[in-house]
Amino acid sequence: ILGMFLELKFPVPWGHVAAKAWGPSEGHPVLCLHGWLDNANTFDTLIPLLPRDCYYVAMDFSGHGLSSHRPAGSPYHFLDYVSDVRRVAAALQWRRFTLMGHSMGGAVAGMFCFLYPEMVDKLILLENLGFLLAPEDTEAWLKSKRVVIDRLLSLEAKQQTPKARSPKAALQRLLEANRHLTAEGGAILLQRGATETPAGLVYNRDMRVRTQSREYFTVEQCVKLLQKIQDRVLIIVAQDGLLVPHKLDTRNHFVKALREAFESTLKEHIQLVEVPGSHFVHLNEPEVVSGIISNFLTVQNTRARL
């Protein structure tokens, strides 16, 4: 029964990466990657609606959910999340698998595809276009790198103990920070995203996650990289999400440019679908996307065999 899941732990040099798994372990492998500051529970409502012959593993990135925090003094580099994926794939002894990523998890999945194209047969991006796009202004790019270092040193100097909140206050804080989350969705994320202490609920996430250093691409680089992908790609964008072009301000014209590139030059193996819903549509209303994803998972990958 896909509602039932198994907790997994994979040892890493600084502790462990936690994950949860659904379905038969001999089934087609699908690795599921959550968004920034979220955790593996983001897939709790979706996976029970997907094909039952697949083996779904949803991992917590380092510093998120039930995974260990990175060692003292370490910032969170975007490529470290990609190496988390590589470590989990190695631990599971998966040579070729499907990747499904929501939001930041989609950007991690996209980068993994470019680095290890031979390991990925299909790519599913939920509310993400597979990239983190570069600020066009060099000064803005430099400032973003400086902020990473300054914030890390500032956090270390403060050495704050994580704040304890009542369950109600912890949920309220989560919903305030994520206007796209419903109360039900927030409660699901909180189950894995917080630990009960005598003083109240404490968020599990590492405070340093907020200072992560990103890997950026230009639109031209993105299109070139996507043309290298031999696997099939499904991109699901929510109409009230974060990537709908007519609702974006002018600074985000690169998202429009990317979508135009998908629709014109990369049609043969990239399927772009717009659905009603918000940034967390896969968690809030999984039935809106489950049929599209199920069809994509079950269609044979003819291109890969040519």
Q: Yes or no: say if 86 and 97 are a contact pair by the CB < 8 Å rule.
A: no
Helices (H), 3-45: none
**Crossing angle (nearest 10°) for helices 78-92 and 104-115:** 70
Residue type, 207: M
Q: Yes or no: say if 85 and 108 are a contact pair by the CB < 8 Å rule.
A: yes
Q: Yes or no: say if 78 and 215 are a contact pair by the CB < 8 Å rule.
A: yes
- The two beta strands, 232-240 and 120-126, are parallel
Residue type, 271: Q
Residue 141 to residues 36, 57, 147, 210, 303, Cα–Cα distance (Å) = 20, 35, 10, 17, 38
Q: What are phi and psi for residue 281, nearest 5 degrees?
A: -55, -35
Q: Give which of 1, 97, 6 is closest to 49, Cα–Cα.
A: 1
Active-site pick, 103, 166, 278, 294: 103
Q: Yes or no: say if 50 and 297 are a contact pair by the CB < 8 Å rule.
A: yes
Q: Give which of 43, 44, 21, 25 is closest to 34, Cα–Cα.
A: 43
Question: First CA to last CA across the chain, in angstroms?
Answer: 35
Is 264 annotated as catalytic? Answer: no
Tokens of 206: 């590492």
Beta bridge partners of 15: 12
Q: Which residues are catalytic?
A: 103
